[in-house]
Amino acid sequence: GEPHLTIMRAALACAKTRSLTVAPSVPVPTIGRHDVLVAVRAAGVNRIDVGAVRDGYATDVFTAGTSSSTWIPGREFAGVVADIGRDVRGVSIGDRVYGAMSPTTSRGAFAEYAASPAHALDTSLA
């Protein structure tokens, strides 16, 4: 895998300013034993992402449990598996995958890397 990675670029949405900026130094998500780290190659833009950034829609959901007013948007994504948790089966490093993030995550796919439970990924169309 790519365990040496610690910093990535990501688009950060800000609830206070209703803006989206590219941050050059965001921590790469850590993965648990059932998770996969995906090097994001494409991410979809949907109504929830646009509404949250532009109109402040549901920003309290994306920032819940954090002390920050920022979050990484992006629900749908496709990419290449960069690392896997120790109990992941059926997905290997280098596999092309696609999936959708939890609608309430504060760590979406508008980033160089995204973490996802392995069961939420699919390889059949990638």
Instruction: Give residue limits of the domains in the chain.
Output: 7-122
For residues 100 and 74, what is the distance between their CA atoms, to the nearest angstrom? 9
As a whole-number percent, the residues of the chain with pLDDT over 70 amount to 87
Residue 10 in contact with residue 72, Cβ under 8 Å? yes
Q: Does the pLDDT at position 3 exceed 90?
A: no
pLDDT digits (tens, 9 = 90+) for 32-90: 999 999 999 999 998 888 887 887 766 676 666 666 778 899 999 999 999 999 999 99
> Does 122 have pLDDT greater than 80?
yes
- Angstrom distance (rounded) from CA 33 to CA 88: 7
- State the pLDDT at residue 62: 66
pLDDT at 19: 85
Nearest to 71 by CA among 3, 18, 124, 1: 18
Domain over 7-122 is classified CATH 3.90.180.10: yes
Yes or no: say if 36 and 118 are a contact pair by the CB < 8 Å rule: yes
The structure tokens 């992941």 sit at 88
Q: What distances in angstroms separate CA 11 from CA 27, 52, 92, one per listed residue?
A: 12, 13, 27
Whole-number average pLDDT of the chain: 87
Tell me the mean pLDDT in the region 97-107.
Answer: 86
The percent of residues above 90 in pLDDT, for the chain, comes to 60
C-alpha to C-alpha distance for 117 and 37, rounded to whole angstroms: 9
Give the per-residue pLDDT at 96: 96
How far apart CA 95 and CA 104 sit, in angstroms, is: 26
